[in-house]
Amino acid sequence: MIYKITVSTKNIIQPLNKLGVEDIDEKSFFFVEAADPDDACYKALNKLKTKIIEQNLTDEIVDYLEDELHNDTKVISLRGVKPH
């Protein structure tokens, strides 16, 4: 099934700005194909990590992503969508 995931990223904007990542909005939307909602959330967070790493990759950013990202983001919407 394809899921549309909305993630609140407002708590990670300031820490990432300090680390040199500028292009993060307060909400991020991701479409993922997954077997269940838990898998969809996991894949959406991985897409968010990839988006951040594409902008800037340093040891400090990797540490932040491994340690704090899951605590500072929140899935605010999850919907199953039908393909066209």
pLDDT tens, position by position, 7-48: 999 999 999 999 888 888 899 999 999 999 999 999 999 999
73 touches 5 (CB < 8 A)? no
Structure confidence at residue 25 (pLDDT)? 87
**40: closest CA among 9, 84, 81?**
81
pLDDT-derived band at 56, boundaries 50, 70, 90: confident
Structure confidence at residue 5 (pLDDT)? 96
**What are the backbone angles phi and psi of residue 34, rounded to the nearest 5°?**
-150, 160
CA-to-CA separations, 72 to 14, 35, 48, 82, in angstroms, rounded: 11, 25, 12, 30
pLDDT at 83 over 70: no
Of all residues in the chain, what percent carry a pLDDT higher than 90?
70
78: β partners: 5
